Amino acid sequence: MPTNKFKKYVRFVLGFIILITIIMPIFQFIGKNIDVENTVASYYEKYSLEDGKNTNLNEYNKQLILEFKNNLSKRIEEDIKNRLNLEYVVKDIKIDENMSSLSFGKVYSLTLIRSYKSNVKPVEKVVIGRTNEEDAETIKVKKYLSEYLKINQDEIIVIK
């Protein structure tokens, strides 16, 4: 006999088979020809769980990837806070989402936003004539994250 987990299913199927074998002669006696095989097959196709399982599995995988991204984002935020004593929030993170790949979860790009304790953002020094230069803090964050996540610094965007 199967394990306890499958006993109720085995009993259900056996009960269904016994019920059909009892009812079939009654229908034949009355004169109604019911093709049980085709009827059961049509119900099976109509209520098959295969499509539902695939969509449920896809939804589950999407939720799993989203949860992975959220946990990774929190870990990055905490790591920056603990190691660099700075507060940043991960705005966007792109990873390898192929769950069957060996590189699943590898970070491809990252966007961070500087978080300030108060709503007032400190005014940065205005320098005329320089463009697209990163300050020391941004360079420090990018360097740390590129070593930590093993990605190119160009793939890390820091918004202040």
Structural domains of the chain, ranges and CATH numbers in brackets: 57-159 (3.30.300.30)
Please report where in the chains the tokens 């049980």 appear, as a residue: 36
State the sign of the Cα–Cα–Cα–Cα dihedral 143, 149, 152, 154: negative
User: CB of 155 within 8 A of CB of 108?
Assistant: yes
CA-closest candidate to residue 111, choices 98, 95, 124, 99: 95
Q: In the chain, where does DSSP find H-type helix? A: 4-30, 36-46, 50-84, 136-149
User: Residue 88 and residue 66: Cα distance in Å, rounded?
Assistant: 20
| pTM (global) more than 0.95 | no
Each as own residue / partner, the long-range contacts of residues 117-126 (CB below 8 Å, 24 or more positions apart, any chain) are 117/87, 121/160, 124/160
pLDDT digit string (tens) for the chain, length 160 residues? 456 767 777 788 888 788 877 877 776 666 656 566 666 666 666 655 555 555 667 778 888 889 889 999 999 999 999 999 989 999 999 999 888 888 888 999 999 998 877 566 666 666 665 556 678 888 899 999 989 888 998 999 888 7
